[in-house]
């Protein structure tokens, strides 16, 4: 299990190194090359997020006594991921501001603040959507487990009722045999 986690760690390290290199290149490129680089970085950031999710799943399966070490690693990886996303956002803002300044010929500081604010809000919405999806998934799994438990309880109830019925029949038979034996003893 920890070998899977370590494999994910290596993949994450390689991927974040590539992302860092590409983020550094974004402001230096122009035109379609820049657009393509931005798209590639976005794709790689999504891959890194998926790797983090896989790593979290692996940590959940690790025995509790050794989980602490892996949990602290996960926190540092999440911090690194947040830093990469912030760096990428800054490089995208710089990229879009350069294009706007070239077209309009002004510096528009308030526009930059609005854009940053909109990007922050968009990221918050995306995070909230992911949390809602995860919560929904947990609710569905919980419902399935509840249904299975109800079915098991129903089967157990039927078994108990059959056993109770057999006990009543046995009790009735014992009563009859007791009366017969009592009658035989009197004769």
* Residue 108 falls in which region: left (phi positive, over 0), alpha (psi -120 to 50) or beta: left
CA Rg, the chain, in Å? Answer: 33
Residues of the chain scoring pLDDT < 50 = none
Q: Which CATH class is domain 1-104?
A: mainly alpha
pLDDT of residue 120: 83
pLDDT of residue 168: 94
pLDDT of residue 131: 86
Q: What does the pLDDT look like over 35-51, one tens digit per residue?
A: 888 888 899 989 999 99
- Break the chain into its structural domains and give their ranges: 1-104
pLDDT of residue 66: 79
DSSP code per residue over 146-183: HHHHHHHHHHHHHHHHHHHHHHHHHHHHHHHHHHHHHH
Q: How far is CA 13 from CA 10, 116, 155, 183, in A?
A: 5, 28, 51, 91
pLDDT of residue 92: 72
Q: DSSP code of 29?
A: -
Contact 55, 10 (CB under 8 A): no
Vertex 123 angle, CA 47 and 99, to 5°: 90
H/E element, 51 = helix 31-61
Contact 52, 77 (CB under 8 A): yes
């Amino acid at each position: 299990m920890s070998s899977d986690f370590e494999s994910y760690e290596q993949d994450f390290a390689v991927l974040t190194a590539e992302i860092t290199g590409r983020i550094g290149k974004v402001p230096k490129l122009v035109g379609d090359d820049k657009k393509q680089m931005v798209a590639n970085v976005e794709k790689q950031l999504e891959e890194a997020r998926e790797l983090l999710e896989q790593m979290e799943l692996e940590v959940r399966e690790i025995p509790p006594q050794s989980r602490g070490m892996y949990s602290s690693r996960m926190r540092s990886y999440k911090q690194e991921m947040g830093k990469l996303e912030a760096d990428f956002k800054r490089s995208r803002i710089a990229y879009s501001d350069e294009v706007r300044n070239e077209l309009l010929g002004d510096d528009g500081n308030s526009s930059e603040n609005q854009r940053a604010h909109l990007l922050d809000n968009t990221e918050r919405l995306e995070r909230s959507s992911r949390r809602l999806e995860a919560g929904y998934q947990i609710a569905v799994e919980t419902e399935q487990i509840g249904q299975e438990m109800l079915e098991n309880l129903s089967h157990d109830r039927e078994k108990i009722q059959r056993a109770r019925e057999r006990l009543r029949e046995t009790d009735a038979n014992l009563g009859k045999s007791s009366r017969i034996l009592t009658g035989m003893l009197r004769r």
